[in-house]
Chains A and B, each alone.
Chain A
Amino acid sequence: MHKLLKALLVGALVALVVAPAAAQDDLGNVIIGSTFGSTGVNFNPITSSTATEQDIMNLLYPGLVGVNPETAIIEPNAPGGLAKSWEVSEDGTVYTITLKDYFQWSDGTPVTANDIAISWAAITSGQVETPLAYLTSYITDVRVIDDYTLEVTIPEPSCESVGNFYFQAFPSHLVMDADGNVDWQAVNTMTMSSPEDLEVGPYALSAQIPDQQTALVPVAEGQWPAEQEGPILNDGYIQKVVGDQTVQIEQFLAGEIDFLTFVPPDRRADIRSAEGISSYEFSPGDTWDYFAVNHANPENPQPARDENGNLIEQDPHPLFAVREVRQALAHAINMDDVITAAVFGEGSKMQSMYAPGTWVYNDEVPFYEYDPDRARELLAEAGWTDEDGDGVIECHGCAHAEEGTPFSFTLYTNQGNTRREAFGQIIQDQLAEVGIEVDFQTIDFNVLVDMLDQQTFDAVILGWRNSYPFSPDYTQIFGTSGDVIGGSNSVSYVSEEMDELMRRALTLPGCDPQERAEIYGQAAQLFHEDLPYIVQFSTNGMYAWQDTLQGVDPYPANLLWNLTEWTRTE
């Protein structure tokens, strides 16, 4: 045993010391990014479904439309987009899109309209399982006119329509025969994750180690239209997988990762004070959290409209159906405290669903001041007072609850989200001060989603992620069309006025941004009065990168738009 132990220890030490180190690639001018969880493994733009894969695919294939990074608006001829220009028919439902003609696949085949239209054909074939299937709700048809012209038809005019033209180039020539027949089985099974697979550029896959890293190198010289789309100045990009956020931040501080697209609020002070690191902060960030209550009785959930589109009279929630009660809740919560506790002060209060900094933000909409006295007053006016002296108010002449019913409810959020847990604890404490008893529970995300889908909850803390580019159309969240089983308007906020404002802003002839912002401003004012959600805040965004990187030029919600032009020096 003794000898065996010795031999093993000596063997291990010898192996460590004398084992030849693996040959290292020169990563001097290679940009190192990071992601959580796992590497992407499916880079087929028709079937891929994760954000990590999308990050890589954005560097392999152009999309149909691109975003102007400066304005964050989808525009013709924008970087990363195939569309050179487009024309809209008089009725606003047909987009004729002309494509740039200088992109090519790595086998030399030009990128044509077929490479975009095949995604639509896949969706409508019924033979491909694709996460893009939801686009059938927003697009009626995609038709190839010629090699570089496409026609996209939408069901009704919409100022946000191009945001749904969410197609990326796919090498159709690999699966389509001369008669236009497509081998859908091949489309289903192609993962396009090998260095031998085709790409357009600016990068090509070069190495992938599952759940470790994905490496990209610039495409062969001459393939990438540098003159039109900008040069590639670095020697590649590696997306490294990190299992844990604490480790990710420490790796960044140690210089092992070149940039972070999100810095958790509790570590921002470390980043700001670190030497050799630059940062860029912006508001709003890409997420916002809210506290909302169910407007309808959770024991009798109903959609907002019947089969004929007529409004159904909702069974009101015994506690929250009265607007003044919701306003009292808003006055009872100090959002400064929430932001301090939940995101260490790294957030922005929102008086409506639109955060400060968005192009539709209306600064004339007031905030509900933290005023517990005013909250008690409003509750008393609504028939909620504490007459038995137990510290909890009861119904005495309230509108929808039985006499003597205590103002007590359960508030849910998803387990493991420390930001929302802090938010909930403050709500629980501060509502107790005005005599409201909150049973705050954190539960499994899937259980919570089930309750939201079925609309069987009293109150919830959750959040939304802003789209990029930002879309202010919240028809599904606050419109009656979203108040269905499984819909996004799970709080059953029913307002024809909100429906109308959303519709007007979405279908405004000419889509003038200023006019649309005014309409969305009215929607924000209505939100403030009706309070579909009680209070909400946005977590500010922060990017950070090593000073060894040159060429970083961030915009809000868009750090990587010119990644090809970044360089790194040791």
Chain B
Amino acid sequence: MIKYTIRRLIQAIPIFFGITLLSYLLMTAAPGGPTSALAMDPRIPPQQRQAMAARLGVNDPWPVQYLRWLLGDDWMRVDTDGDGLADIARLIPLDADGDGRPEPAGRRKGILRGDFGESFFQRRPVITMIEEKIGPTLELGLASLIVGLVIGLPVGIIAAVRRGGWFDNVTRVLAVMFNAVPVFWLGLILLMIFSFRLQLLPSGGQCGLVLSGGCPPIYQRLEYLLLPTLVLSTGAIAIYSRYIRASMLDVIHQDYMRTALSKGLPGKDVWFKHGARNALIPLATFLGPAITGLLSGAVITETIFSWPGLGRLGVTAVIQQDFPVVMAVVIMASIATILGFLLSDILYAIIDPRIRFD
């Protein structure tokens, strides 16, 4: 298993770079750029907009931009006399904006040296922005995953055991309904009822307003997590319950289940101990992508509940064409995807001892 895991991780390296290369290519091929919005400000003459784009480096050929993102630009523009301005330029022009002066020396080290760059708009390290968002994203993602599994699994198992009964029928209808309900609609309805009409729960944010300090620990602000978790987990409950139901129905008709029942074991033990464990095996394939979703954030839920997660950050960055931030989010999602699928495989082996990868 260890060998398999290491082999998979090594295989993931070219996949990872392939994803980043493709993402960069697509991003730079998209129309417009980070200075597009300035077109709506007539005070800014077109040549200034061009100059700004040139200084950001977004007019360079995309392979050069990708290389800069990968390896940094401290070797592309080098200051040899210590005046802060570059004297040597490699691959990129010394005077990018055409103002007759060299540009400042490059400061970026590139992601291969652990530097994710700086946001074009927020003017601060992208890694700081990701660090700020990863906590809230994991909070919400984990909570909804747990709620989805804790409710979805028993519902699916019971529905399979009571196949054709009222519980099965009701949960089937509910599953279809919850899976079909748009998240933004459900979110707004829940807000209207629980926050604005009944005033039982907060209407958004990760914590209350403060004049000093930051958000308190999670156990002191669980009420802020309730509604977004509920919204995010409804779809998961619907999917998990139907999936485990189908899997459980396969298991129920296995010989060992019949044998267990005929030996006089209580039904509860047979269904949950023997049946459920085997029915869970296909669910392992679900957990990998679920973790990917968990790390990449939930854009609509985060927007409606003003939740400061990665999803909102990513979408805003794509709209603004804030390349360094987009790429950081892509990296997060790529790593999550690669690790998610690897985890699925490992879980498979843990749940089902018959499976061996070595």
Asked if A486 lies at the interface with its beta carbon under 8 angstroms from chain B, I say: yes
- For A554-568 the 0/1 string (1 means CB < 8 A from B) is 000000000000000
Per the 8 Å Cβ criterion, residues 20-48 of A in contact with B are 20-25, 27, 30, 32, 37-38, 41-42, 44, 47-48
Tell whether, in the assembled complex, residue B36 and residue A22 are in contact, meaning their CB atoms are under 8 Å apart: no
How long is the Cα–Cα vector from A49 to B34 in the complex, in angstroms? Answer: 12
Q: Which residues of B contact A44 (CB under 8 A)?
A: 123
How long is the Cα–Cα vector from A449 to B33 in the complex, in angstroms? Answer: 10
Q: Which residues of B contact A244 (CB under 8 A)?
A: 303-304, 306
How long is the Cα–Cα vector from A236 to B219 in the complex, in angstroms? Answer: 28
Asked if B179 lies at the interface with its beta carbon under 8 angstroms from chain A, I say: no
Tell whether, in the assembled complex, residue B191 and residue A247 are in contact, meaning their CB atoms are under 8 Å apart: yes
If A41-B124, A47-B123, A126-B101 touch, whether A206 touches B212 (CB-CB below 8 Å) is yes
Tell whether, in the assembled complex, residue A447 and residue B196 are in contact, meaning their CB atoms are under 8 Å apart: no
Tell whether, in the assembled complex, residue B48 and residue A134 are in contact, meaning their CB atoms are under 8 Å apart: yes
How long is the Cα–Cα vector from A215 to B210 in the complex, in angstroms? Answer: 7
Give B316 Cβ to nearest chain A Cβ, in Å.
6
If A134-B44, A206-B211, A446-B31 touch, whether A127 touches B84 (CB-CB below 8 Å) is yes
Tell whether, in the assembled complex, residue B124 and residue A42 are in contact, meaning their CB atoms are under 8 Å apart: yes
Q: Which residues of A contact B304 (CB under 8 A)?
A: 243-244, 247
Give B87 Cβ to nearest chain A Cβ, in Å.
13
If A209-B215, A464-B42 touch, whether A250 touches B208 (CB-CB below 8 Å) is no
Q: Which residues of B contact A188 (CB under 8 A)?
A: 123
- Select the residue from B272, B312, B321 with max chain A CB neighbours within 10 A: B312
Give B215 Cβ to nearest chain A Cβ, in Å.
6
Q: Which residues of A contact B39 (CB under 8 A)?
A: 449, 452-453, 486, 488
Asked if B214 lies at the interface with its beta carbon under 8 angstroms from chain A, I say: yes
CB-nearest residue of chain B relative to A476?
Answer: B42
The secondary-structure label for the interface of chain A is mixed
Tell whether, in the assembled complex, residue B212 and residue A212 are in contact, meaning their CB atoms are under 8 Å apart: no
How long is the Cα–Cα vector from A163 to B216 in the complex, in angstroms? Answer: 44
Asked if B213 lies at the interface with its beta carbon under 8 angstroms from chain A, I say: yes
Asked if B104 lies at the interface with its beta carbon under 8 angstroms from chain A, I say: yes
Asked if A465 lies at the interface with its beta carbon under 8 angstroms from chain B, I say: yes
Tell whether, in the assembled complex, residue B42 and residue A488 are in contact, meaning their CB atoms are under 8 Å apart: yes
Q: Which residues of B contact A184 (CB under 8 A)?
A: 84, 104
Tell whether, in the assembled complex, residue B31 and residue A19 are in contact, meaning their CB atoms are under 8 Å apart: no
Stretch of A82-90, A171-179, A477-485, A538-546 lying at the B interface:
A477-485
How long is the Cα–Cα vector from A49 to B219 in the complex, in angstroms? Answer: 36
Tell whether, in the assembled complex, residue B208 and residue A22 are in contact, meaning their CB atoms are under 8 Å apart: yes
- Select the residue from B51, B55, B123 with max chain A CB neighbours within 10 A: B123
Per the 8 Å Cβ criterion, residues 211-230 of B in contact with A are 211-216, 219-223, 226
CB-nearest residue of chain A relative to B272?
Answer: A1
Stretch of A95-103, A251-259, A321-329, A493-501 lying at the B interface:
A251-259
Give B36 Cβ to nearest chain A Cβ, in Å.
5
Tell whether, in the assembled complex, residue B42 and residue A243 are in contact, meaning their CB atoms are under 8 Å apart: no
Q: Which of B124, B220, B312, B316 contacts A20 (CB 8 A)?
A: B220
Per the 8 Å Cβ criterion, residues 201-249 of A in contact with B are 206-207, 209-213, 215, 217, 235-236, 238, 240-244, 246-247
Q: Which of A8, A41, A137, A447 contacts B122 (CB 8 A)?
A: A41
Tell whether, in the assembled complex, residue A444 and residue B31 are in contact, meaning their CB atoms are under 8 Å apart: yes
Q: Which residues of B contact A477 (CB under 8 A)?
A: 42
- For B62-100 the 0/1 string (1 means CB < 8 A from A) is 000000000000000000000011000000000000010
Asked if A450 lies at the interface with its beta carbon under 8 angstroms from chain B, I say: yes
Tell whether, in the assembled complex, residue A32 and residue B45 are in contact, meaning their CB atoms are under 8 Å apart: no
Asked if B32 lies at the interface with its beta carbon under 8 angstroms from chain A, I say: yes
Q: Which of A164, A217, A242 contacts B211 (CB 8 A)?
A: A217
Give B170 Cβ to nearest chain A Cβ, in Å.
19
If A8-B146, A246-B188, A482-B42 touch, whether A126 touches B306 (CB-CB below 8 Å) is no
If A129-B55, A211-B312, A450-B32 touch, whether A464 touches B154 (CB-CB below 8 Å) is no
Q: Give the number of chain A interface residues (Cβ < 8 Å).
A: 87
Asked if B186 lies at the interface with its beta carbon under 8 angstroms from chain A, I say: no
Tell whether, in the assembled complex, residue B40 and residue A465 are in contact, meaning their CB atoms are under 8 Å apart: yes
Give B312 Cβ to nearest chain A Cβ, in Å.
7
Q: Which residues of A contact B84 (CB under 8 A)?
A: 127, 184-185
CB-nearest residue of chain B relative to A32?
Answer: B209
Tell whether, in the assembled complex, residue B222 and residue A24 are in contact, meaning their CB atoms are under 8 Å apart: no
Q: Which residues of B contact A42 (CB under 8 A)?
A: 122-124
Tell whether, in the assembled complex, residue B192 and residue A250 are in contact, meaning their CB atoms are under 8 Å apart: yes
Tell whether, in the assembled complex, residue B31 and residue A450 are in contact, meaning their CB atoms are under 8 Å apart: yes
Asked if A445 lies at the interface with its beta carbon under 8 angstroms from chain B, I say: yes
How long is the Cα–Cα vector from A452 to B31 in the complex, in angstroms? Answer: 12
Asked if B109 lies at the interface with its beta carbon under 8 angstroms from chain A, I say: no
How long is the Cα–Cα vector from A444 to B318 in the complex, in angstroms? Answer: 12
Q: Which residues of A contact B123 (CB under 8 A)?
A: 42, 44, 47-49, 129, 188, 191
CB-nearest residue of chain B relative to A208?
Answer: B214
- For B297-332 the 0/1 string (1 means CB < 8 A from A) is 000001111111000110010000100000000000
Tell whether, in the assembled complex, residue B36 and residue A38 are in contact, meaning their CB atoms are under 8 Å apart: no
Q: Which of A12, A22, A449, A464 contacts B220 (CB 8 A)?
A: A22
If A42-B124, A211-B308, A446-B30 touch, whether A243 touches B302 (CB-CB below 8 Å) is yes
How long is the Cα–Cα vector from A445 to B52 in the complex, in angstroms? Answer: 19
Tell whether, in the assembled complex, residue A24 and residue B196 are in contact, meaning their CB atoms are under 8 Å apart: no
Q: Which residues of B contact A487 (CB under 8 A)?
A: 45-46
Q: Which residues of B contact A269 (CB under 8 A)?
A: none
Asked if A274 lies at the interface with its beta carbon under 8 angstroms from chain B, I say: no
How long is the Cα–Cα vector from A137 to B47 in the complex, in angstroms? Answer: 10
- For A443-480 the 0/1 string (1 means CB < 8 A from B) is 01111011011000000000011010000001011000
How long is the Cα–Cα vector from A4 to B276 in the complex, in angstroms? Answer: 14
CB-nearest residue of chain B relative to A216?
Answer: B211
How long is the Cα–Cα vector from A253 to B197 in the complex, in angstroms? Answer: 11
Asked if B25 lies at the interface with its beta carbon under 8 angstroms from chain A, I say: no
Q: Which of A24, A126, A484 contacts B208 (CB 8 A)?
A: A24
Per the 8 Å Cβ criterion, residues 151-204 of B in contact with A are 153-154, 188, 191-192, 195-196, 199, 203-204
How long is the Cα–Cα vector from A133 to B49 in the complex, in angstroms? Answer: 10
- For B14-50 the 0/1 string (1 means CB < 8 A from A) is 0000000000000000111100110110111111111
Give A7 Cβ to nearest chain B Cβ, in Å.
10
CB-nearest residue of chain A relative to B48?
Answer: A134
How long is the Cα–Cα vector from A12 to B219 in the complex, in angstroms? Answer: 10
Q: Which of B36, B132, B153 contacts A446 (CB 8 A)?
A: B36
Q: Which residues of B contact A210 (CB under 8 A)?
A: 129, 132-133, 308
Q: Which residues of A contact B44 (CB under 8 A)?
A: 134
How long is the Cα–Cα vector from A334 to B58 in the complex, in angstroms? Answer: 43
Q: Which residues of B contact A37 (CB under 8 A)?
A: 312, 316
Asked if A550 lies at the interface with its beta carbon under 8 angstroms from chain B, I say: no
If A42-B123, A486-B46 touch, whether A238 touches B308 (CB-CB below 8 Å) is no
Q: Which residues of A contact B153 (CB under 8 A)?
A: 1
How long is the Cα–Cα vector from A185 to B106 in the complex, in angstroms? Answer: 11
List 10 A-B pairs, minimum CB-CB distance, nearest first: A446-B32, A486-B46, A211-B308, A22-B216, A243-B303, A476-B42, A488-B42, A243-B306, A22-B220, A25-B211
A-B contact pairs, 24 of them (CB 8 A): A22-B221, A32-B209, A126-B85, A126-B101, A126-B102, A127-B85, A136-B48, A138-B43, A185-B84, A207-B211, A209-B215, A210-B129, A211-B306, A212-B306, A243-B306, A243-B307, A247-B203, A445-B32, A446-B32, A446-B321, A474-B42, A476-B42, A482-B42, A486-B46
Q: Chain A residues in contact with chain B, CB under 8 A? A: 1-2, 4-5, 8-9, 12, 15-16, 19-25, 27, 30, 32, 37-38, 41-42, 44, 47-50, 126-127, 129, 131, 133-134, 136-138, 164, 184-185, 188, 191, 195, 206-207, 209-213, 215, 217, 235-236, 238, 240-244, 246-247, 250-251, 253-254, 256, 444-447, 449-450, 452-453, 464-465, 467, 474, 476-477, 482, 484-488
Known: A22-B220, A23-B216, A246-B188. 17 other contacts (CB 8 A): A2-B268, A9-B150, A44-B123, A133-B48, A137-B45, A211-B132, A213-B210, A215-B210, A215-B212, A238-B211, A240-B205, A241-B205, A243-B306, A247-B204, A446-B30, A446-B321, A486-B46
